[in-house]
Amino acid sequence: MSAPTAAAVLEHLVRSIVDQPEAVHVDVSEEDGRVRLDVRVGDGDLGRVIGRRGRTAASIRTVTRAAAVKDGVDVDIEFLDD
């Protein structure tokens, strides 16, 4: 089970808002029948991705989950600092 569309959308969204787009990595794994997307960003960029009160992160999750429908999977997204 994989989510290529969701992973590509997620990577594109995150790269477009961070200061170090080359440091963005999306790891895909499967956990309990769901696909987990772990996003790693460069130093200092996690705050940009999360946004005020988590609004940016919530929006990214919403768009990525919509893209995952095309892949036919449910996804969980975690934002991690490298």
Q: Indicate the helix (H) or strand (E) that contains 41.
A: strand 34-41
Band of the pLDDT at 2, cuts 50, 70, 90?
Answer: confident
As given in the structure block, the two tokens for residue 8 are 């590509």
What's the helix, strand, coil split of the chain in %, to 5? 50, 25, 20
pLDDT in tens, 6-58: 999 999 999 999 999 999 999 999 978 889 999 999 999 999 999 999 999 99
Domains of the chain, CATH where assigned: 4-81 (3.30.300.20)
Assess whether pLDDT exceeds 80 at residue 1: no
- 71 contacts: CB under 8 Å, gap ≥ 6: 2, 3, 4, 5, 6, 35
